[in-house]
Amino acid sequence: MRERRRETHDTYTLALEPVDRSLRPAAPGQFHMLWSFGIGEVPISISGLPETDGAVLHTIRSVGTVTGALCDADAGAVVGVRGPYGTSWDLDDAAGHDVVIVAGGIGLAPLRTAVTQILAERDRFGRVALLVGARAPGEIVFTNELPRWRSAGIDVQVTVDSATPDWRGDVGVVTRLFPRVDVDGANARAFVCGPEIMIRFAAAGLEELGVAPGRIRIAMERNMKCAIGHCGHCLFGPMFVCKDGSVFPYDVMAPYLAVREL
Amino acid sequence: MPTAATPATRALLDVDGLRALLDALRAEGYTVVGPTVEDGAVLYRELERVDELPRGWTDEQEAGTYRLKRRDDDAYFGYAVGPHSWKQFLFPSRSLLWRARRDEDGGFTLEDGATESDARYAFLGVRSCELHAIAIQDKVFMDPAATDPTYASGRSGAFMVAVNCGEPGGTCFCVSMETGPKATFGYDLALTELLDGGRHAFLVEVGSEAGARVLDALPSQAASDGDVATADAVVASTAARMGRTMDTTDIRDLLMSNLEHPRWDDVAERCLSCTNCTLVCPTCFCSSIEDVTDLAGDEAERHRRWDSCFTADHSYLHGGSVRATTKARYRQWLTHKLATWIDQFDESGCVGCGRCLTWCPVGIDITEEVAAIRATSDEVGA
Amino acid sequence: MTTHDIRELLQPFGLMRNLEPAQLDLVAGCGQNTHFDARTMIFRDGEPADTFYALRSGKVALEINVPQRGPLVIDTLGPGDVLGWSWLFPPYRWHFDARAVESTSAVALDGKCLRDKCSDDPVLGYRLMRSFTQVVIDRLQATRLPLLDVYGPG
């Protein structure tokens, strides 16, 4: 780990560079399995593809033993990495169209690779809106980058569920921002990542904006052990989230998302 | 690796011929694994002598019931299947994936666990349903996109001696699942036991070049058309006496459009979530990973072990399990096995072997569960 | 501004969607164009709720003052939103503070004027109530979701 940057009180971005072999190239939306020596392994989305400096970024929220160990490690620590695995955001399909990106909480991490790719080829896309929902102002990630994305031509809007006294921004669930988005819904593409409940409401809101369900891409999360479709833990309906996802078209997933405990 | 059925070469073996087959396989260096009586059941163990086969035994199976009983003849294969399946050899219940040692500079070095299967197995007595089950697991573990090297090497080196069932089990429904009782692929040699007119013989069918080569060295006689007819009649008789049936018409859509059917609540009240069904099922492949380390923290190992979707934390995601209730977990198992498996692998995950019925401590019968949902599906709606 | 002008300003609002032109004129007759500078209070908790606002531009924060924690924003409204429904039913008092976060322009609608017109014209009253109910339902739904604390650590 070359460096570890604190995003919030429980979320850190790790910059990982290869020790011996280089990593296989990854696409936006894919994930690696990260291993903390002797402790365990977790699937973590790539939040930054390697650029010129060769380090891959992973933004991790400390919620358990392994993520806790990864978030506690200092620069110089060695982490096991395998992958990349999973499907990608498919930005080629979005080229030439307006894009709405909806991020809830730590869900902004896997979407960051979509944002950076769009910014790298800004002219390829139409109007781009990034709607970020977070629990509270102190839980927003990449706060130092949001203004830069705004000035680079993305309509960034942030809202929190509960405000602190110094918060000057919007308050309310992220779907409340939808009416303020200026995109051509009928032709737009959308990328959504966040808690499953938020995904369902966001998708409904996007459909009200006119976005076709097949053009909404969502990122799912499930327990993963092998990441190659052998262990059966990530099954969701007919899908292996590790290899058929984690990015899925919403129209395919909608009927399964509606079933409890599937 | 057995190929598709080569032009049928047939022969007849007597009991001495069966002994010679086992001895020949051992002589070639195979670890012969096959059925034997142990702990009141027919289990699959390494066999050294033909006498270790369950000669003269049969099984009485019903939902939640398994008993061995003496036959009034000396059939070597006069029973159905026991709690063991062949998956424990190709997909061991515990295996070391790799070992890691910390380096002085803070990094670590990896050392693969066994990637080559040490044993060359000869499976003696593989039923047709089991050949299908092995082929189903092949699709999981030998997917070109992600191949399990241990499974692949064990599988490619395995010699298969199939047995066409002469005795259907009380919980069998291979006919409904179109997986038997006659073995049609995937074997090197297939035996049908013939006990007629005082003789005790085995019709042998060759399924591969390796099988032909082994048969060549055995003391066999020519098989007559009459022998073939007798063997066919044995199989037909078995097919006609299946213990269960399952209507698989549109089963994928039937189950996936009835995910909130009240029958799931009903079965959940009976299911103990004990995982027996997944342990005995020859196609279940769930596993879990265990990362362990020595006390000093310098050496770490990753092990793989069998797991079951019935465990409470199988679907654990920070905060809780996605499938917290027994109802959700039972529904997951059955809909995966009979419905979504078809989406994933173009065939059912169930081979109709009946093990999950027999070994369920409360006797849950999946053919009955499916029939119950089918019967009231129209009333309940999607 | 004439009633006609006010009507033009009100037309785009979803609230007015079900009204026929004559009915929209009636509503517009109760309205006037208004503006709030950034950081000014629009109304306060406990004050009489005489007026409600159809926001045309800017941003308004709904706040509740919590002892020892200060004013906490519980909702933010923007262009297209309707601010205030306490004018609909007695005791006609505001339940929270409303502050213009940015320079905000709105159509201010006189609550009593509208209540009287709705009494005189039940059809207008029914349609306006329907529209307002939709606003309240949407707002309730949007309030319930944050209660789930979906972004919590789990």
DSSP B62: E
- pLDDT over 80 (residue B116): no
Nearest alpha carbon to residue A229 among A86, A67, A35: A86
pLDDT on residue B379: 57
Ranges in chain C, pLDDT < 50: none
Average pLDDT over residues B5-22: 85
Each residue's pLDDT tens digit, B299-310: 999 999 999 999
Nearest CA in chain A to C99: A168
**Domain of residue C54, residue span:** 3-145
Ranges in chain A, pLDDT < 50: none
* Mean residue pLDDT across chain C: 91
Q: Which residues of C touch A173 (CB under 8 A)?
A: 142, 145-146
pLDDT on residue A31: 98
Residue C119: its H or E element? helix C111-120
Neighbours of B29 (CB within 10 A): 9
Banded model confidence at residue B6, pLDDT cuts 50, 70, 90: very low
How many domains does one find in chain C?
Answer: 1
Average pLDDT over residues B49-74: 97
pLDDT on residue C66: 79
For domain A3-85, give the CATH number.
Answer: 2.40.30.10
**Which residues of B make CB contacts under 8 Å with A?**
100, 102, 106-108, 140-141, 143, 145-146, 148, 256, 259-260, 285-289, 291-293, 297, 300, 307, 309, 314-319, 322-325, 327-328, 332, 336, 339-340, 343-344
Asked if B254 and B273 touch (Cβ cutoff 8 Å), the reply is: no
Instruction: Kindly state whether residue C154 falls inside one of the protein's structural domains.
Output: no
Banded model confidence at residue B378, pLDDT cuts 50, 70, 90: low
CA distance B147 to B44: 26
pLDDT on residue B5: 47
pLDDT on residue B81: 97
pLDDT on residue B326: 97
Nearest CA in chain C to B321: C154
Asked if C99 and C65 touch (Cβ cutoff 8 Å), the reply is: no
pLDDT on residue C148: 85
Instruction: Kindly state whether residue C49 falls inside one of the protein's structural domains.
Output: yes
Instruction: Kindly state whether residue C152 falls inside one of the protein's structural domains.
Output: no
Average pLDDT over residues B314-323: 91
Conformation bin of residue B198: beta by default, left when phi > 0, alpha when psi is -120 to 50: left
- Tell me whether residues A39 and B291 touch, CB distance under 8 A: yes
> For chain B, what is the radius of gyration of the CA atoms?
22
pTM of the shown model: 0.91
Task: Check CB contact of A21 with chain B, cutoff 8 Å.
Answer: no
Structural domain boundaries of chain B?
10-93+114-240, 251-286+308-380
pLDDT on residue B382: 45
- Tell me whether residues C150 and A168 touch, CB distance under 8 A: no
Nearest alpha carbon to residue B243 among B191, B190, B165: B165
Find the CATH number of the domain harbouring C54. Answer: 2.60.120.10
Instruction: Kindly state whether residue C151 falls inside one of the protein's structural domains.
Output: no
Token digits for A149?
């994305």
- pLDDT over 60 (residue B381): no
Q: Which residues of B touch C151 (CB under 8 A)?
A: none
Average pLDDT over residues B212-237: 95
| More confident call, B227 vs B150 | B227
Fold annotation for A91-219: Rossmann fold (3.40.50)
**pLDDT-wise least confident of B199-203, B262-266, B375-379, C113-117:** B375-379
Nearest alpha carbon to residue C10 among C27, C2, C110: C27
- pLDDT over 50 (residue B89): yes
